[in-house]
Chain A
Amino acid sequence: MSQTILSVQDLTKTYHSGEQTLTVLSQVSFRLSEGDSCAIVGPSGSGKTTLLGLCAGLDRQTSGTVSLCGITIDSLSEDERAKVRNQFVGFVFQNFQLIPTLTALENVLVPLELRGERVNEKDGIELLARVGLEKRVHHYPTQLSGGEQQRVAIARSFINRPKILFADEPTGNLDGETSEKIESLLFELNREAKTTLVLVTHNLELARKTERIIRLKNGMVVSDTMNEMQETNFNPTTAP
């Protein structure tokens, strides 16, 4: 039986504004195992990004539980969560989020350097070559195109051999052709590394490339389907 990488139970997030309470996520539960790929889809304001932030330990829920690689992150301090992220998590963002003052190689190596390990630059160069940027190793983000920047971000997200990769609209800022290349690269690396993939997107085409699609609306899960399978009525108790 494969190991559970991400477990989300009854996750709720509310914001208070004056006397009003706004619930952006309500009672969300699901579980992902090693090597799974899942897309979270829904219209704007449905709570997709909030869910991703909570799953990755970037934000704190109002209630519910999140476990990453067997570690319940709810009660961890910010720094302890940062350690968990460094050890088990990779990220790809819509706006790439490369550090502008670092070269492509340096950006890729940051997660390893943060571990305090002796860093072998070769690993970074190999990974950059894997994403087709062997000639752009020492370029700064401003010297790279959007697609190239996202490829650096993908290389960075795999450098620490993460157990789970969170991707927030990874092709949202790219043109059609580049998007396709980035998508292929992302799924290819994911398969090779057997990483669990959580993808937040508006793009249903992209979502269909994952094994499972969770649809959100008004902060609630309205459907949770396995790809190539019949859509079933959602029942959290039967969710895998």
Chain B
Amino acid sequence: MIASLFNRWTWVMAWRDSRTHRKRLLLFISSIMLGTAALVAVNSLGESLERAVSTQAKSLLGADLAIESRQPFSKALERAVDSLAERAEVAREMSFGSMVYFPKQSKTRLSQIRAVTGDFPFYGTIETEPKSAYNTLNNGRNALIDNTLAIQFGVQIGDSVKIGDVSFLVSGILKEVPGEAAVASVIGPRVYIPPMYVDSTKLIQVGSRVTYKAFFKLPPATSAKAVVDSLKPLLNLTSATATTAEERQATLGRTLENLYRFLNLVGFIALLLGGVGVASAVNVYVKQKLQTVATLRCMGASSAQAFAIYLIQTFAMGLIGVSIGATIGVFVSAFLPRLLGDFLPIQVEFIISTSAIGVGVSIGLLMSIAFALLPLLAVRNISPLLVLRASVEDEKIQQDYLRYVVFGLIVMVVWFFASLQTDSALSAVERFKQGALITLGLGVSFGLLALVAKGTMIGARKFFPKRWNYVWRQGLANLYRPNNQTLILILSLGFGTMLISLMYLLQAMLIEQVELTSKENQPNLVFFDVQSDQRNGVEELLTAIDAPVMQTIPIVTMRIAAVKGKTVAEARRDSTVKSAWLWEYRVSYRDTLNETETLIKGEMNKPVKSPNDSIKISINEFLAQSLEVDVNDEISFDVQGVPVKCYVGSIRKVDFRRIQPSFSILFPTGVLEDAPQFYAVLTRASNDEHSAEIQQAMVEAFPNVSAIDLGLILSTVDSILDKVSLVIEFMALFSILTGVAVLIGSVLISRFQRMRESVLLRTLGAVRKQVVSIMTVEYLLLGFLASLSGVVLSAAASVILAYTVFKFTFAPNLLPMMAMMLVMIALTVVIGVQGSRGVHSHSPLEVLRNEV
């Protein structure tokens, strides 16, 4: 066999034999082309991302080191910062959430207010319009507003905005902040104000969530990690955290790797589909070469020589396919960073990556040869007796053990590649396990689709409707006749449809969860940070503007003092302590569960009636796990200086996806009523205008009170999902396009067979309309079966995902799935019928003579 591959005659014969079929060979090149293009594009993107992350590492944080705390720095920490400032440059940032009021537009929106002292960022730049706006911010009562806000409300430079009690002049529009993705501004638009006006806004009150940061630019010889290590004991004591540029780079690297791996997997699926297309195309091709091979065998060619001729052709075909694919991939990789731009906190530049091209080309070639080998093996067993007889029993082909070896090889290639796509942080064994699961999932999907195809062929033959009219009978019979395209088209189109449909369903599933909250009689506007002395005023104001006060929730802040007798100070000395010990908790009190909560263990809170009663609290399951506590375990709290000893009375499951104030810890009534507290007030606005009116009235009367507009959140979630799905759909497009390429390839390759049949039919008196109708019926049935299988599989997958991963029940919407089916059916019919048009434009004799 190997000797035959290096025999000059084999290569010459491979070249000669391809002469009249080169066009047909080029057709199935397209099958492998798109998958390779996807792989090269995604791998190039991966390399571009890696390069961007490493070159822009410091600008990701804007500094060498950042210290962050949810409360003002302790005196000890301040001293440490001051001492560090002697050898490093320091900048400070204070940020908090607040309503921003745009008087000209009479609109408000919850935004993230930031005030910076010092030369932050030390690395990278905050890009604004005009360019000098950030540097001149502190020159007056200026504000820099996020581009999202400018677009949403039509705010222009020179307009005014009101934050708390202070009006600012919009001096610039914020375009880009180093290390932050553009999409972040959709969730929490940023507004920069001069630090000197923070106090005047009067927004910093009890319960306000303020984040304090200090940024450092260290001297070149100083290691940020060493500084963090030296600060660690101090940071632990004050619940502050430190991040170095290197850590940010590593975190971002991991996140981007996940994104890249997912896209790569989608590309690989396109390649896999292409492989199926190649297998089908080679299968048809080999069938057309039976007589040639038999004649060569008669003349004395060995089976290895015959096999080598077609292996060489396949190799050449694969090489051309992957080369064209790699070229397309390079062009696509220039476009991908733009598509992903909003999600990336870095500037990604287009590069032509030789390693990406190398990987794409090798995997593409490997796949095309592996898949071509399955049908090619049959060449070895073609009997020379075929020159004498039209058919020879092919028992040998069925029993060829090498088929199983090749099949095993394909599974190994898929498994290996799928394992490469798993999290690199996992152990090799775990990665191979996950790779096996992906391979199994792909195998099950392909298996089910193949089962549908085989079932269709058997069913159509067994239950053939003899009473149907001639056209329908012929069309249906084409599904199981020799050289049919049933298996390949149901596999490729079915899989492509399944992928795209699954993307839509997952998106619909997530949106449906959020929309639950927008149903009637559910609150859709939440005001928080309402101080005790503001409570009545807020409630009266709401009532006055027809906004029902649906719920007023008291909130008390506290910290954990001890768990099961172990104090926080003791826990801090233990390096394995979880951060849950150190958090500041926002706790409410009530004795009933709300509709987002389910009791898992114990009994729900009972009112505490006397000081001697034990205080039994309810905690959520995640907190129970983090603190390693169970029902009846003791937890002591520091409630703003007052120690309170409690016991875990119950453990709850909380559905945090529902946009409602949820609490990790719930106290019983009768304990916290006198503690310093603030409130969240829930109401319902009847429409967007009403919502705007309520928010505006609230900001004017109580500037420190912030609002969460669930309608806005819905549209935000929607717009983010839109962007995410655009990226996913773009990649899934490769799969669909491969399906279409495979469809075109199969149609054109089997054209010879179809032409002979159609020409015979025409010779026997069939009119053009009948011939076209037979083909239309065939492709209609194929398109219907493929797309139906695809959407049914996607619906099943989405229900399973909803139940196992997202933990809720989901009923897929039939309408979009049906629309997708119609599109796929139309596409199949149009391509199928168009591809066979040559049958009608020539005379029967001409076609027979040219083709034979």
- B18 CB contacts on chain A under 8 angstroms: 101
The 0/1 profile, CB within 8 Å of B marked 1, for residues 15-57 of chain A is 0000000000000000000000000000000000100110010
Report yes or no: A79 in contact with B291, Cβ–Cβ below 8 A: no
Report yes or no: B388 in contact with A52, Cβ–Cβ below 8 A: yes
**B300: which of A52, A59, A86, A99 is its contact (CB, 8 Å)?**
A86
The 0/1 profile, CB within 8 Å of A marked 1, for residues 416-433 of chain B is 000000000000000000
Tally chain B residues at the interface, Cβ within 8 Å.
33
Report yes or no: B387 in contact with A49, Cβ–Cβ below 8 A: no
- Asked if A114 meets B299 with Cβ closer than 8 Å, knowing A58-B387, A91-B387, the reply is yes
Q: Which residue of A78, A79, A82 has the most chain B CB atoms within 10 A of its CB atom?
A: A82
Report yes or no: B303 in contact with A79, Cβ–Cβ below 8 A: yes
- A49 CB contacts on chain B under 8 angstroms: 388-389
A77 to chain B, nearest CB (A): 9
Report yes or no: B298 in contact with A97, Cβ–Cβ below 8 A: yes
A219 within 8 A of B: no
Report yes or no: B384 in contact with A58, Cβ–Cβ below 8 A: yes
**B302: which of A52, A79, A100, A106 is its contact (CB, 8 Å)?**
A79
- A156 CB contacts on chain B under 8 angstroms: 299
The 0/1 profile, CB within 8 Å of B marked 1, for residues 91-131 of chain A is 10100011111100010001101111000000000000000
A223 within 8 A of B: no
- Asked if A101 meets B19 with Cβ closer than 8 Å, knowing A58-B298, A110-B296, the reply is yes
Q: Which residue of B297, B385, B849 has the most chain A CB atoms within 10 A of its CB atom?
A: B385
Contacting residues of chain B (286-322) with chain A, CB-CB under 8 angstroms: 291-292, 294-305
**B299: which of A78, A79, A106, A111 is its contact (CB, 8 Å)?**
A111
A195 to chain B, nearest CB (A): 16
Distance A101 CA – B13 CA, assembled complex (angstroms) = 10
B764 within 8 A of A: no
Report yes or no: A99 in contact with B7, Cβ–Cβ below 8 A: no
Report yes or no: B7 in contact with A97, Cβ–Cβ below 8 A: no
B342 within 8 A of A: no
Distance A78 CA – B300 CA, assembled complex (angstroms) = 10
Report yes or no: A100 in contact with B292, Cβ–Cβ below 8 A: yes
**B304: which of A79, A115, A168 is its contact (CB, 8 Å)?**
A79
A83 within 8 A of B: yes
B391 within 8 A of A: no
Q: Is the interface of B mostly helix, strand, loop or mixed?
A: helix
**B385: which of A53, A106, A140 is its contact (CB, 8 Å)?**
A53
- A111 CB contacts on chain B under 8 angstroms: 299-300
- Asked if A93 meets B388 with Cβ closer than 8 Å, knowing A101-B17, A101-B292, A113-B9, the reply is yes
Q: How many A-B residue pairs lie within 8 Å, measured between CB atoms?
A: 86
B469 within 8 A of A: no
Distance A129 CA – B247 CA, assembled complex (angstroms) = 83
A225 within 8 A of B: no
A67 within 8 A of B: no
- B299 CB contacts on chain A under 8 angstroms: 85-86, 91, 110-111, 114, 156
Q: How large is the interface on A (under 10, 10 to 19, 20 to 34, 35 or more residues)?
A: 20 to 34
- A56 CB contacts on chain B under 8 angstroms: 298
B383 within 8 A of A: yes
A72 within 8 A of B: no
Contacting residues of chain B (613-653) with chain A, CB-CB under 8 angstroms: none
A87 within 8 A of B: yes
- B2 CB contacts on chain A under 8 angstroms: none
- B291 CB contacts on chain A under 8 angstroms: 97
- Asked if A101 meets B295 with Cβ closer than 8 Å, knowing A58-B384, A93-B388, A113-B9, the reply is no
**B16: which of A58, A87, A101 is its contact (CB, 8 Å)?**
A101
- A110 CB contacts on chain B under 8 angstroms: 296, 299
A142 within 8 A of B: yes
Distance A175 CA – B389 CA, assembled complex (angstroms) = 22
- B305 CB contacts on chain A under 8 angstroms: 114
B152 within 8 A of A: no
- B254 CB contacts on chain A under 8 angstroms: none
- Asked if A87 meets B388 with Cβ closer than 8 Å, knowing A97-B295, A113-B9, A142-B849, the reply is no
B404 to chain A, nearest CB (A): 21
Provide 22 A-B residue pairs closer than 8 Å at the C-beta atoms, listed in order of the A residue: A52-B388, A53-B385, A53-B388, A56-B298, A58-B383, A58-B388, A82-B300, A82-B303, A85-B298, A86-B299, A87-B300, A93-B387, A99-B292, A100-B852, A106-B16, A111-B300, A113-B9, A114-B296, A114-B299, A116-B7, A142-B849, A142-B850
**CB-CB nearest 9 A-B residue pairs:** A86-B300, A79-B302, A58-B385, A58-B384, A97-B295, A111-B299, A101-B19, A114-B300, A82-B300
Taking Cβ atoms with an 8 Å cutoff, the residues of B that contact A are: 7, 9, 12-13, 16-21, 291-292, 294-305, 383-385, 387-389, 849-850, 852
